[in-house]
Structure 1
């Protein structure tokens, strides 16, 4: 004991001698470094201790077990995530995986999802979204909380009910072009892939409604913009799934990087041009309004050319008006939101429309129920534009849409970076963990949805929704960072599907059980979805 005390005194003496030799600045830097290392090691030990309490595969020190998801596996990435969760997290809906030194917790039970998505402090996206930032910057999808909060607040009015009602005629007009394209396939008895056609229709709808411009994608499917959009999605997915392509310094040495940059140039040029032209148009409109005020000595601010109250501003106009007033976003930030909403506003709805048509084509009884509802509401008229009220009355069609999004959620995985410890069931998920919510599997929980793989729109009849956990069904995410455009999406899908079914009967060519899934930026079929169409009598 005495020897130990003497040793401690000598050690303290030596440390004091070292600090006397060092300059004050060097001493402070050294102390901060030592404290930082000590704090990091304690925090790291705490994180590892709690994460490894969760069920999961064996972890190789330093390497982890995330490489199992990308190396030597023949299955698609989403299949592997779902397979691992079934193996390790079936009982409690929780499992863990280490991607090198980075911990991920996979979640597929409503009770475990709620503490994360409902917490207003846990809105930071995981590092996986960084691969989207060269394209989307700090748009709503990828932005940190400090940027996301004010932008979300500014954008919410653009999705007001009254604005959406003004879009119905655009939805319908583009749906008629979609009908023309389907009509060209009437003699195709082998079936055709509906996905590209639905994607171009959704792109036309979004660009015209949200940005006030037409890209005529349905009549010009080989446009440079359409090709660039498709190509960059493949590159980002490839990079997400291949660990060795994730470091920037390696990615920049590949041919994929060159293609990535070429796509970015096309996409950003389009968005910049749209913003620039729309801004010039709004400035000119303001100047004309001011001139009219001077001439008539009254303000037209509340009325349009027809004497009615001025319409509320839609998405892009709202952003630009704010920037013109000096309290909105700069042009680059506006472009980021435009690019973000092109993904969220057309890729997701296109995927949903494709899956809905396949599922309705695979169950003629359900399809007949939908048609009968539409025909009754529309009074047997198969040509006129439905009103907002009529669309809202299509309850069974809405059940079909919701059931489709249950089976094939457009966004199959949601990732959050936890900024504080979260208590889930009997486990502590520490800050610094990436929480990966496996929406695809969450929606197939047999304790919530009996016979979960069956297409059953009755799951969403009011009497069957009573008492259901609010986080058991989250196709548009949930909590404060949910999808801002979910009402827009449902309204668009209702309009397109009702327009199609009033003219055509859909028949699925392939069984959905045979469709291979692709976990792209949205959930897609790997080889498309084949259907046939015939004229409805």
Structure 2
């Protein structure tokens, strides 16, 4: 072995050791800088959170809050959070150890959240839908959501919606047949047929008489547009019983609300069910009153104070479809059946899951207005 080879090998070893040392130094420096950055971010985060009205300022309060929420039955969830907002205010912070939740109920704050194109990521609760829906329009975010939203938008275009009306009529007439059969068999429990919609029958019938007269023809798009009274009834029903009771968003970056700054990685939540019972917008909120949606009653109401289909870029893409469908079905039933409630609104008991669930409903007495119904 010559000395040149030995010297070259030694240089290579020194070089390799130097590279390793430099890599270790860079790694240590990176970790140090990350720790400094993380600590500063954590300090700033704790500072922002400390300024929020909170149910969990201490460790003991956190444990107590987690225990209370975990112990809630679906029936008790909405009343519990409603009482929290009434006692603490329209913004409440809750720590669950693994996540930070901020519950809001101010329409101004809700507007800031929903009108933003940056805060469109659904909360972690929606992940339980992924085995069923995968990451489609409801659960996806960012570019994937934008692509799917754009793809489906034309499906609900006005001209396309008009083509659905014959199908709406077909199924509405089928429902009338089913209800007529149930009434003959003295079946008055309609849970398996329809979801109860509180109706001001005397007025929804007068309006329909003016549109259809004595004809039993199917409804047209123009007919549906003329059903102003029925639309108010539907809107008031959705105010009291929105199909989706709550909405959550996971913040990928901070958001500045009206009076508070919320740090990134927090979960912001609001309850449509609770919002729709805000007494400042809806006096005597538990009273069913379709006149709340007369034009003169709506003009001064906050535009984000009524959100049965949510709002902003992630609003319900099928809301017009749903409204036309409800108008078709309900107008067909009311034209052909006399409906009498065998109970009161107090008999309606709901609980919250991913959607609002009716645990108890009053039954209806059905009387066909005509002997023959279209097959």
1:342 aligns to what?
none
CA distance in 1, matches of 2:86, 2:73: 17
1:147 aligns to what?
144
How many Å apart are 1:451 and its aligned residue? 1.5
CA distance in 2, matches of 1:119, 1:72: 32
* CA deviation profile, 1:221-247 (whole Å, cap 9, x unmatched): xxxxxxxxxxxxxxxxxxxxxxxxxxx
Query: When the two structures are superposed, what TM-score results if normalisation uses the length of structure 2?
Result: 0.87
1:371 aligns to what?
205
User: CA 1:72/1:533 → structure 2, altered by over 3 Å: closer, same or farther?
Assistant: closer
Query: When the two structures are superposed, what TM-score results if normalisation uses the length of structure 1?
Result: 0.62
Q: Report the 3-state secondary structure (helix = DSSP H, G, I; strand = E; otherwise coil) of the residue aligned with 1:23.
A: helix
1:166 aligns to what?
163
2:264 aligns to what?
431
CA distance in 2, matches of 1:437, 1:502: 38
CA distance in 1, matches of 2:213, 2:76: 46
CA distance in 1, matches of 2:359, 2:155: 34
Native 8 Å contact 2:102 2:269 kept in 1: yes
1:205 aligns to what?
none
Candidates 192, 214, 234, aligned match of 2:189: 192
User: CA 1:134/1:529 → structure 2, altered by over 3 Å: closer, same or farther?
Assistant: farther
* CA deviation profile, 1:188-229 (whole Å, cap 9, x unmatched): 6673033x323xxxxxxxxxxxxxxxxxxxxxxxxxxxxxxx
User: CA 1:452/1:528 → structure 2, altered by over 3 Å: closer, same or farther?
Assistant: closer
CA distance in 2, matches of 1:72, 1:411: 19
CA distance in 2, matches of 1:395, 1:509: 27
* CA deviation profile, 1:390-442 (whole Å, cap 9, x unmatched): 11100110111111111111111011112232222321112211110111111
CA distance in 1, matches of 2:82, 2:333: 34
How many Å apart are 1:22 and its aligned residue? 5.8
How many Å apart are 1:76 and its aligned residue? 3.0
User: CA 1:51/1:67 → structure 2, altered by over 3 Å: closer, same or farther?
Assistant: farther
User: CA 1:166/1:46 → structure 2, altered by over 3 Å: closer, same or farther?
Assistant: same
User: CA 1:355/1:429 → structure 2, altered by over 3 Å: closer, same or farther?
Assistant: farther
Are 1:179 and 2:13 matched, yes or no?
A: no
How many matched pairs?
352
Native 8 Å contact 1:413 1:440 kept in 2: yes
Q: Report the 3-state secondary structure (helix = DSSP H, G, I; strand = E; otherwise coil) of the residue aligned with 1:192.
A: coil
Native 8 Å contact 1:412 1:438 kept in 2: yes
* CA deviation profile, 1:95-142 (whole Å, cap 9, x unmatched): 121122311111112112111111111111111111111111111110
Native 8 Å contact 1:418 1:434 kept in 2: yes
Are 1:484 and 2:332 matched, yes or no?
A: no
User: CA 1:168/1:417 → structure 2, altered by over 3 Å: closer, same or farther?
Assistant: same
1:48 aligns to what?
46
1:37 aligns to what?
35
Native 8 Å contact 1:70 1:77 kept in 2: no
Unaligned runs of 5+ in 2: 1-16, 371-375
User: CA 1:402/1:108 → structure 2, altered by over 3 Å: closer, same or farther?
Assistant: same
CA distance in 1, matches of 2:153, 2:79: 35
2:88 aligns to what?
88
Native 8 Å contact 1:355 1:408 kept in 2: no
Q: Report the 3-state secondary structure (helix = DSSP H, G, I; strand = E; otherwise coil) of the residue aligned with 2:102.
A: strand
Unaligned runs of 5+ in 1: 1-18, 199-353, 361-365
CA distance in 1, matches of 2:316, 2:109: 20
Are 1:399 and 2:228 matched, yes or no?
A: no
1:24 aligns to what?
22
1:469 aligns to what?
302
The Cα RMSD (Å) is 2.3
Native 8 Å contact 2:251 2:267 kept in 1: yes
Q: Report the 3-state secondary structure (helix = DSSP H, G, I; strand = E; otherwise coil) of the residue aligned with 2:306.
A: coil
CA distance in 1, matches of 2:184, 2:50: 58
Native 8 Å contact 2:246 2:270 kept in 1: yes
The structure carrying a bigger helix percent of its residues is 1
CA distance in 1, matches of 2:67, 2:37: 29
Native 8 Å contact 2:56 2:93 kept in 1: no
CA distance in 1, matches of 2:106, 2:153: 29
* CA deviation profile, 1:295-350 (whole Å, cap 9, x unmatched): xxxxxxxxxxxxxxxxxxxxxxxxxxxxxxxxxxxxxxxxxxxxxxxxxxxxxxxx
